[in-house]
Amino acid sequence: MPRPQILLVEEFYFAKKEWDDLACIADILVCDSPNRESFIQDCASKYNNITCIYSSWRSAEITGVIDEELISKMPRSLRFIAHNGAGYDQIDVSACSKAGIMVSHTPGAVSRATADTAIFLILGCLRNFPQGEYNLRKGSWRSETSVEIGNDPNGKTLGILGMGGIGRSLAERARIFGMNVIYHNRQKISWTNNARPLAEYVSFEKLLAKSDVLSLNLPLNSNTRHIISSLEISKMKRGGIIVNTARGGVLDTVALIEALESGHLKSIGLDVFEEEPHIPRQLVENPRVLLLPHMGTYTIEAQYDMEKLVIENLERAVEQARLITVVPEQKGQQEHIMTKRRY
Ligand X SMILES: *[C@@H]1O[C@H](CO)[C@@H](O)[C@H](O)[C@H]1NC(C)=O
Binding site for ligand X (CB under 6 A): 2, 46, 48-49
Give the separation between CA 66 and CA 93, rounded to whole angstroms: 9
- Catalytic residue from among 83, 184, 247, 288: 247
For ligand X, the closer of residues 36 and 46 by Cβ is 46
For ligand X, the closer of residues 47 and 54 by Cβ is 47
- Cα pseudo-dihedral 81, 86, 89, 91, rounded to 10: 0
Sheet arrangement for strand 213-216: 200-201, 180-184, 157-161, 213-216, 240-244, 265-270, 289-291
CB atoms within 10 A of CB 1: 3
Smallest distance, Å, CB 49 to ligand X?
A: 4
Smallest distance, Å, CB 20 to ligand X?
A: 22
Residue 294: active-site member? yes
- Catalytic residue from among 37, 61, 200, 276: 276
Smallest distance, Å, CB 51 to ligand X?
A: 11
Smallest distance, Å, CB 27 to ligand X?
A: 8
Smallest distance, Å, CB 78 to ligand X?
A: 13
User: Reduced to 3 states, what is the DSSP secondary structure of residue 168?
Assistant: helix
For ligand X, the closer of residues 7 and 317 by Cβ is 7
90 in Cβ contact with 61 (< 8 Å): no
Give the separation between CA 204 and CA 89, rounded to whole angstroms: 23
Which DSSP category does 198 fall into? S
- Catalytic residue from among 294, 316, 322, 342: 294
User: Reduced to 3 states, what is the DSSP secondary structure of residue 98?
Assistant: helix
For ligand X, the closer of residues 49 and 146 by Cβ is 49
In this chain, which residue has its C-beta nearest to ligand X?
49
For ligand X, the closer of residues 26 and 198 by Cβ is 26
Q: Angle of helix 300-320 relative to helix 111-127, nearest 10 degrees?
A: 150
For ligand X, the closer of residues 49 and 230 by Cβ is 49
- Cα pseudo-dihedral 120, 124, 129, 131, rounded to 10: 120
Smallest distance, Å, CB 125 to ligand X?
A: 53
Smallest distance, Å, CB 131 to ligand X?
A: 58
Give the separation between CA 156 and CA 179, rounded to whole angstroms: 5
Sheet arrangement for strand 27-30: 27-30, 5-8, 50-56, 80-84, 102-104
For ligand X, the closer of residues 4 and 132 by Cβ is 4
DSSP-assigned states of every residue in 291-323:
E-SS-TT-SHHHHHHHHHHHHHHHHHHHHHS--
DSSP-assigned states of every residue in 218-287:
---STTTTTSB-HHHHHTSPTTEEEEE-S-GGGB-HHHHHHHHHTTSEEEEEES--TBTTB--HHHHT-T
Residue 261: active-site member? no
Q: Which residues are catalytic?
A: 247, 276, 294
